[in-house]
Amino acid sequence: MDKQNAAAAEKSREERVKPQDFRVPANEYSNIKKIIGVVSGKGGVGKSLVTALLALQMSRKGKQVGILDADITGPSIPKMFGLHKKAVTCENGILPEFTRDRIRVISINLLLEEEDAPVVWRGPLLSGVVKQFWTDVLWENLDYLFVDMPPGTGDVPLTVFQTLPLDGIVVVASPQDLVQLIVRKAYRMAKTMNIPILGIVENMGYLKCPDCGRQINIFGESRLDEVAVDLELPVLGKLPVDPELSRLCDEGRLEDLTAPYLVTAAAMLDTTEQRKPEQGGY
């Protein structure tokens, strides 16, 4: 091999082995300080609810907040906030919809003609839409953008991990889904992608007796604290099964919530504030 070819081969090898950066810049009208993804190992554990609650509590702290609904085939954020209007597109991009308390939201449901029409698209198309939610939406000034991820480790979560400059992820787990395994999986995936895990939220581990207020651990003693200590991750909160929560979600009135769910979590994630995990709470 002559010198020139050897140099070209070496360069190509370097290109192949070095970690590639697929990140794309956001819209020029977007200025987003922190991006936090909400993930889980499997579906139905409460990712969307946790995303919505974190956004709500952060916005109640006076922060400018947005939610990017990256779940294209199962979008649920607009419904929780009672958003049914169509997002408007202008010459500079797509305008997010505002919830009653001025949380900015973008979701495929705000763009489809019929919100109950199923999205039957293949992976690359789904990933393309998520990318557009980042590049084409006029988020303007945000302190926090929360990304509601679809479950699992398919095309779309991978796209989010690779193209959005995530500052970290929050892992949602329910006690019955072998919390240790799920959290460890998320931990290893995030490590591979070089993204910090900001903490864990346990959902639906207990309920409060409506008569005596006693806490009933539905699945026995939670093992989350053990796992969290082992992996040196903070527990951001533990949410009970609360019929009020599901009722407010179903009625699109999550912003009427009075219980302080994930208030402590929002304070712990808010890097502009001193962390106060020892205060406990939800």
Ligand X SMILES: Nc1ncnc2c1ncn2[C@@H]1O[C@H](COP(=O)(O)OP(=O)(O)OP(=O)(O)O)[C@@H](O)[C@H]1O
The residue with its CB nearest to ligand X is: 43
Q: Nearer Cβ to ligand X, position 27 or 151?
A: 151
- d(C-alpha 55, C-alpha 106), whole Å: 13
Size of site (CB under 6 A) for ligand X: 20
Contact 74, 121 (CB under 8 A): no
Interaction between residue 262 and ligand X (CB under 6 A): no
Nearer to Mg ion among residue 71 and residue 167 (C-beta): 71
List the x/- string, 133-152, binding to ligand X by CB under 6 A: ------------------x-
Among positions 26, 35, 36, 40, the unique one binding ligand X when judged by CB under 6 A: 40
Q: Does 44 bind ligand X (CB under 6 A)?
A: yes
| Choice between 71 and 97, CB closer to ligand X | 71
- The single residue among 8, 22, 29, 43 that binds ligand X, judged by CB under 6 A, is 43
CA 86 vs. chain centroid, Å, equals: 22
Among 166, 210, 213, smallest CA distance to 190 is for 166
Q: Are strands 215-217 and 206-208 parallel, antiparallel or unpaired?
A: antiparallel
With b for 16 or more beta-carbon neighbours within 10 A and e for fewer, the 128-162 pattern comes to ebbbebbbbbbbeebbbbbbbbbbeeebbbbbbbb
Contacts with Mg ion by CB under 5 A lie at 47-48, 71, 76
Binding partner of residue 207 among Mg ion, ligand X, none, CB cut-off 5 to 8 Å per kind: none
Which residue, among 265, 35, 30, has the nearest Cα to 161 in the 3D structure?
Answer: 35
- Shortest spacing between CB 115 and ligand X, in angstroms: 16
For ligand X, the binding residue among 26, 49, 224, 257 (CB under 6 A) is 49
In contact, 263 and 282? CB cutoff 8 Å: yes
- Please tell me the distance from the alpha carbon of residue 187 to that of residue 44, in angstroms, as a whole number: 19
Radius of gyration of the chain (CA): 20
CB 14 to ligand X: min, Å = 39
Report how far Cα 125 is from the mean position of its chain's Cα atoms: 20
Residue ranges that bind ligand X, judged by CB under 6 A: 40, 43-49, 71, 74, 76, 151, 203-204, 239, 241-242, 245-246, 249
